[in-house]
């Protein structure tokens, strides 16, 4: 909307937003084109819809976050808006997925009861080794790390450390974005043991059995 004045007359000029004529996506493999198109449509970007640049930028940022969650820290997402006749635009999304960052080291800090090797053996994520080529288990993913932290917590709980706490987790990325270092800070707390068990109620067998 533009405001102007012609003499004593206020002139309001309304410029209609362009509509989306086409959407092209290239460079994606880890996320299918079908899933990307669904995400764009849910965000309001689809053929025939009114184009809003802020929406496109929001989608680009969200897509970048999705790749980071997969451990693809070097991924880039670029967008291009091409003007077309009849107040329409074509959208181009160019993706460079990069590579998944490999895990260089997993460090557990604060443990005094259990050796670090025993704790890191619980993890699905592994540091790079000669089997990584076959198992692909050295590729960092945020979802896998969350599962590993739950396994670590359960390991302590099953052994009586009910106040065990994962104080913090740091994921550090090398400058070339190809490797990550994971540090897990734990507070073990005291070990609790079951001293006695008593049964009550209408028992069909003697309590001592």
So what's the pLDDT on residue 206? Answer: 58
- Four-way CATH pick for 2-96: 3.10.20.310, 3.55.40.20, 3.40.50.1100, 3.30.980.10: 3.10.20.310
Cβ neighbours for 136, distance < 8 A, ≥ 6 positions apart: none
Q: Which residues contact 193 (CB under 8 A, 6 or more apart)?
A: 160
Q: What is the pLDDT of residue 195?
A: 75
**What's the CATH fold of domain 102-187?**
Ubiquitin-like (UB roll) (3.10.20)
pLDDT of residue 5: 73
Domains of the chain, residue spans: 2-96, 102-187
Distance CA 75, CA 27 (A): 11
Low pLDDT (below 50) residues in the chain:
none
């Amino acid at each position: 909307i533009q405001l102007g004045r012609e003499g004593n007359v206020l002139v309001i000029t309304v410029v209609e937003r362009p509509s989306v004529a086409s959407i092209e996506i290239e460079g994606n493999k880890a996320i299918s084109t079908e899933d990307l198109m669904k995400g764009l449509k849910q965000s309001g970007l689809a053929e025939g819809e009114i184009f809003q640049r802020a929406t496109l930028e929001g989608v680009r940022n969200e897509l970048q976050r999705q790749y980071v969650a997969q451990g693809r820290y070097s991924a880039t997402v670029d967008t291009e808006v091409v003007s077309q006749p009849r107040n329409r635009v074509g959208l181009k999304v160019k993706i460079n997925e990069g590579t998944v960052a490999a895990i260089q080291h997993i460090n557990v800090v604060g443990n005094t009861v259990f050796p670090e090797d025993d704790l890191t053996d619980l993890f699905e994520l592994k540091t790079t080794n000669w089997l990584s080529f076959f198992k692909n288990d050295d590729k960092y993913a945020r979802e896998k790390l969350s599962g590993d932290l739950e396994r670590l917590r359960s390991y302590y709980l099953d052994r009586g450390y009910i106040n065990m706490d994962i104080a913090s987790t740091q994921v550090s990325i090398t400058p070339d974005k190809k490797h990550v270092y994971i540090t897990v800070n734990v507070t073990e707390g005291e070990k609790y043991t079951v001293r006695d068990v008593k049964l009550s109620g209408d028992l069909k067998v003697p309590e001592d059995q």
